[in-house]
C-alpha cells in the first residue's frame, strides 16, 4: 500500500525551542493535512494544504506543501508545554484514500 515516511519519530526539546518535522512520499499527493493528538483523544486538524508550494500558518505553527508534491513539513516556533503530543501528517494521493504517517511524539522539558 501507500507509504508515508514521517520523521523524526520522537523529539525531546526544551521549552522555547523551535520544532521541525516532515513527511515524504514516493507518490504525488494532492492534499496534505497535519493533525495533533493529545493523550486519550482523537486527532485534531491543525493545518490543511491543498496546493503545491502553499505555505500556511496557524498561530505558532507553519506548514508547507512541497513543490514536488511528495513532501510536507510542519514547524512550531517557540514551543510551550501544551505543544506536547503526537503530530501526524496525512496525505491524499490523487483519487485515492487518505494515508497517515507514523506520527512524531513531541516531549518538552520545561
Partner 1 sequence: NAGVTQTPKFQVLKTGQSMTLQCAQDMNHNSMYWYRQDPGMGLRLIYYSASEGTTDKGEVPNGYNVSRLNKREFSLRLESAAPSQTSVYFCASKRFAGQASNQPQHFGDGTRLSIL
> What residue ranges bind partner 1 (CB under 8 A)?
1, 4, 6, 9, 30-31, 33, 35, 40-45, 48, 50, 88, 90, 92, 94-98, 100-103
Nearer to partner 1, 5 or 17 (CB): 5
Q: Least Å distance between CB 18 and partner 1? A: 24
Which residue number, 2 or 62, has a Cβ lying nearer to partner 1?
Answer: 2
Q: CB of residue 62 vs partner 1: minimum separation in angstroms?
A: 17
| Gap between the Cα atoms of 79 and 101, Å rounded | 22
Residue 13 burial class via C-beta count within 10 angstroms: exposed 0-12, middle 13-18, buried 19 and up:
middle
User: Closest CB to partner 1 among 14 and 97?
Assistant: 97
CA 107 to chain centre: 15
Closest CA to 99 of 11, 3, 8: 3
Amino acid at each position: 500500500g501507500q507509504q508515508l515516511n514521517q520523521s523524526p519519530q520522537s523529539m525531546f526539546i526544551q521549552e522555547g525551542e523551535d520544532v521541525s518535522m516532515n513527511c515524504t512520499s514516493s507518490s504525488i499527493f494532492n492534499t496534505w493535512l497535519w493533525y495533533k493528538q493529545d493523550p486519550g483523544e482523537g486527532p485534531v486538524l491543525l493545518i490543511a494544504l491543498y496546493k503545491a508550494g502553499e505555505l500556511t500558518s496557524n498561530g505558532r505553527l507553519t506548514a508547507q506543501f512541497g513543490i514536488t508534491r511528495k513532501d510536507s513539513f510542519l514547524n512550531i516556533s517557540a514551543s510551550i508545554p501544551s505543544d506536547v503530543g503526537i503530530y501526524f501528517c496525512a496525505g491524499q494521493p490523487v483519487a485515492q484514500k487518505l494515508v497517515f504517517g507514523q506520527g512524531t511524539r513531541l516531549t518538552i522539558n520545561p
